[in-house]
Amino acid sequence: MSRLRRAFWLAGGAYAASRVLGSRRLQWASKPLVVPLLLDAPLAASRPAREVGVVGLLGGWVGDLLLMQEGRLHQGAAAFAVNQAAYQWLLWRAGARARPVPVAVHAVPLAAAAWFGRAHLGLVGTYGGMVTATSVLAADPALRGRGVAAGGHLFLLSDSLILVRMLVPAERRALGRGLDVAVAVTYVAAQRLLVDGLFRR
């Protein structure tokens, strides 16, 4: 395992630990390092994948910074939409296409999210649609064996758990903290799997 990869998992583990401990200081020290430690993969690629990959990860990094601040959910989602758009372009370029069965399967949880998260319907419909589209493309059997399907599904799960977390009452602290940890773990794994599957063939 390379030093950068070890550093990535160390930062990701520290971020997950920060959610277990409820430590804002550890979160701020670790989470902003996660995405930059993925940049070596797109930087080693040829154009235009290099530029698209770097811009996409930059969007994810800005989104991470915004989502650690109170009241910046919509801005964070907008930044992550750049991350999702980049992944979609890279998946399409690799041969992925939206197949009818995955589209139909993914439509069910998206509709459920729109119903239960109707107080945030605009956000669910726009960004939720983006991350769902990434998951649909990543599920294309044409890319089987590259890990992108797991990455796309974990990204969708992570963002779905954020919505669930928003619906948990403040007094349910143990449940809320458990969801925070699950969001962190699935997010870190999703980014790693997608980057590896798209750039390390």
Q: What is the pLDDT of residues 9-32, one digit of tens each?
A: 999 999 999 999 999 999 999 999
**C-alpha to C-alpha distance for 38 and 191, rounded to whole angstroms:** 8
Peptide bond between residue 109 and the one before it cis (omega within 30 degrees of 0): no
Contacts of 5 (CB under 8 A, 6+ apart): none
Are 131 and 159 in contact by the 8 Å Cβ rule? The answer is yes
Confidence of residue 197 (pLDDT cuts 50, 70, 90): very high
The pTM is what? Answer: 0.91
pLDDT tens digits, one per residue of 168-195: 877 888 889 999 999 999 999 999 999 9
**C-alpha to C-alpha distance for 15 and 51, rounded to whole angstroms:** 27
